[in-house]
Copies of this chain bind each other. A is one copy, B any other.
Amino acid sequence: MRVVADPFPHTLRSDARDNRERILDAARALFSADGLDVPMREVARRAGVGPATLYRRFPTKQMLVAEAFADQLHECRAIVDEGCADPDPWRGLCLVIERICELHARDRGFTQAFLSTYPGVKDVAAGREYTVKAVAELARRAKEAGRLRSDFVLDDLILVLMANKGIHATSTVGQVKASRRFAGLVIQAFEACPRHAPLPPPARLTSAPAHDLSR
């Protein structure tokens, strides 16, 4: 098995480049709708190519996943950047939570990829690192402004992401609606409020053996 993804898509023959795109389109569609557990062959079928072609271009599922979710990863960064740019850090944080939840609600596969530390998908891992770091800073500012409860920890955000992943509806629109409601609830739980009793102790989730948080 080749272990390095084809680094030069532009040197491919025209038909090969076409197929590569069709494969990525199929992968995006299937991963988004059904999650990452879709068989490779299903992707190939949908793309209208043979299994060998798929494996030639993307020797491992991880490579296909990484490539397929480049867009979402970019969008993810954009959301975080936008949130960080907001002069009101609390409003920025709320926006990030809402948008990220919606992003994950729309795209089942991305959630799995984002949370799973799919071994070897360094792009996704790096994207998550970036996101986490940026949000940490945002949270710090929101706390300083007195809008975010002081006993909030970053792991709570992971908690929320994982929880959001657990929400399933029959349709995408239902899913988004549910996620939106959920995000609304969570945000109000995060908001500093004198009436709030202290929370149970925070849970450590990030130090996990990094293999699979997704299932």
Residues of chain A at the chain B interface (Cβ within 8 Å): 156, 159, 162-170, 174, 177-178, 180-186, 188-191, 193, 195-197, 199-205, 208-209, 213-215
Contacts and interface: CB of A to CB of B under 8 A. Distances in A.
9 contacts: A159-B167, A170-B208, A170-B209, A174-B204, A177-B200, A180-B203, A181-B200, A181-B203, A188-B188
A82 to B, nearest CB: 20
B186 A159 contact: no
Given A164-B166, A168-B213, A193-B195, A159 B188 contact: no
A27 B75 CA distance: 43
Given A189-B185, A191-B195, A199-B184, A162 B167 contact: yes
A193 B190 CA distance: 13
